[in-house]
Amino acid sequence: MKPGKRETSCRRSRATLALGLMCLLGLLGRDVAAEPDPKPDTINARVNFGWRPTSRNFGGTNAFQVWEEQGSFHSDYEISGGGVTDAGLEMSFWKSLGVGLDISSYKSVNSAKIASRIPHPFFFDLPRSSNGTALGLTRQELGMHLHASWTLQPINWLELSLSGGPSLINARQDLVSTVEHTETGFPFDSVQFSGYSTTTQSETTLGWNTAVDVRAFVLQSMSNRFLQRLGVGLLLRYMRGSVSLAIANTPVEVDLGGLQVTSGIRFRF
């Protein structure tokens, strides 16, 4: 394929991140085509620490019986970015192709905005409203990412690995299960949000992941065999999945994952 056609293809497809990555790989492939493939049977190990900037929202409504009538509260959860730890192995088995397994852990502490409708003690259909915030709600996602990879080596000390595959994701989410209100007294025109309690739900789902790992082994020319194999790397992983959490026995689809940016050490053997 001629370079000009590759550039045209790139312009057409840069609207999407995935195709953009393909373009980048293609361009890199053009420049490095003459470079040698990584050695087969090489195993790359990596340990990363970083951040997941993606924010996600979900919400749900709980209903309950109070004052002889149905009351409710709606919780809006805003899942912010959080720290990510990632570790894995990747082994090339034929030319540039390889397989790998990574485990990543994400954790963030979040809040939820709670809007309640509390029935009036004396009258039907005259609910009072209140607002509050629940704090300290933890979201944890533990992902096991199986992936196939394609590794390029544009220059001698630099590797670039493109990978993708299925992810098994376990999500643990703190949910507001009950709210507490204080009656302000006669004429009971208002209530005060005074507390809440939480439960933790855990669900596992099958999702997918795609990643770019850039590895630099700048010490490979040194005489120490350990240092020769030691490198640093930057991993960009996008994983995605969703689970169904039960809020007041009503299933609520909750999105998992997002872009993870981590960096750490590499070791190949």
Partner 1 sequence: MRSFIHLFAASTLLVSAESTVALAQNLGQTDILKLAIGSGNQLSELRQADATVNQLSRNGELRQERPITEDPRLPGRTHERLSQYYDGVPIFGAEVTRQTENGMTVSVFGTLHTSINLDTTPVLSPELAAQTIERLAEQPPGSATRSRLVVLPIQSQGDDYRLAYESRIFTGTKLMIYFIDAITGDIAWAFDDLKTQQPALPCEQCAIGQGIGVQADPKKISVTMVGGNFLAYDQLRPADIYTFDMQGDSARTMAVVAGAVPLFDADLATDTDNRWIDGPSVDAHVGMGWTYDYLYQRFGRQSLNNLNVRLIGLVHPINRDVALTTTPELLSLLHLNAFYCGLCGPDGVGLTVFGEGLPPHLRANGQRVNFLAGSLDIVAHELAHGVTDFTSSLLYMDESGALNEAFSDIIAIGVEHYAEPLWQKGVGSADYVIGEDSFVPGGLRSLKTPSLFGDPDHYSLRFLGKDDNGGVHTNALIAGHAYYLAIEGGTNRVSGITVTGVGPENREQIEQVFYRAFTLLMTRDSNFEAARAATIQAARDLYGTNSQAEQAIVQAWTAVGVN
Residues that bind partner 1 (CB under 8 A): 67-69, 120-126, 181-183, 185-188
Nearer to partner 1, 50 or 71 (CB): 71
Q: Angle 84-98-154 (CA atoms, 0-180°, nearest 5)?
A: 85
- Minimum CB separation from partner 1 for residue 188, in Å? 7
CB-count exposure of residue 94 (10 Å: 0-12, 13-18, 19+) = exposed
Nearer to partner 1, 29 or 121 (CB): 121
DSSP 223: S
| Distance, C-alpha 24 to centroid of its chain | 23
Look at the alpha carbons of 29, 31, 37, 43 in this order and tell me if their dihedral is positive or negative: negative
Nearer to partner 1, 196 or 238 (CB): 196
Nearer to partner 1, 184 or 200 (CB): 184
Give bridge partners of residue 93 from the DSSP assignment. Answer: none
- Minimum CB separation from partner 1 for residue 189, in Å? 9
Q: Angle 28-269-147 (CA atoms, 0-180°, nearest 5)?
A: 55
- Minimum CB separation from partner 1 for residue 71, in Å? 12
- Minimum CB separation from partner 1 for residue 130, in Å? 12
Nearer to partner 1, 122 or 226 (CB): 122
What are the CA-CA distances from residue 216 to residues 37, 167, 220 (Å)?
15, 26, 9
- Minimum CB separation from partner 1 for residue 179, in Å? 12
